[in-house]
Amino acid sequence: MTTPYEDVPFSELLHHPAATARRLDAVRALRLRRRDASDLALIRADQLEQDSTVVDFTARLLAGLVRTENTTALRQVLPDALPWSVFLPEEDVEALLGELVDTARGAAALENLAPLALLLAQWRHSAEIHADPALRAALTREPDGDLGPAPMPSEDVTG
């Protein structure tokens, strides 16, 4: 395989399904571009299973390193895996590692990477705040004056 994925219009899959599917012999996945909705991905089932195996292994490896208190190794490689982590304060790095391991294990068990992607995005945003002194100052300063009364919480607990 030469490239990880190829962009293909969604209509190509609709008009030429067999020929479009055969393109998976040369690439890992097809990104199906749609005009009025999020893009889709077409991937072979065996590739999806391989990806799930790797994610599960990685989550268990991380958990094992933390469980055996080998956080020194994790801390040393964290900037390679997440370069923006160098902007996080020391206590946030500890929190990131703990949350990362727990979330990776849970996401692998559910075969759903969305929680892990969300966690990484949230920590990246935290790093962006720490990296920009002006932004950090704006977000951490006390508000000027009284902000007025707070509304009562809604009685509807169904969400």
Whether 10 and 22 have beta carbons less than 8 Å apart is answered as no
pLDDT computed for residue 1 by the predictor: 44
pLDDT computed for residue 159 by the predictor: 52
Using CA atoms, how far apart are residues 35 and 31, in angstroms rounded to an integer?
13
Whether 107 and 116 have beta carbons less than 8 Å apart is answered as yes
pLDDT computed for residue 63 by the predictor: 72
pTM of the model: 0.66
**In tens digits, what is the pLDDT along the chain, a chain of 159 residues?**
446 889 999 999 999 999 999 999 989 999 999 999 999 999 999 988 888 888 888 877 777 776 776 777 888 888 999 999 999 999 999 899 889 888 888 887 887 888 988 999 999 999 999 999 999 999 988 888 888 898 888 876 555
How many helical (H) and strand (E) elements, i.e. helices and strands, does the chain have?
7, 3
Using CA atoms, how far apart are residues 18 and 20, in angstroms rounded to an integer?
5
151 SS3 class: coil
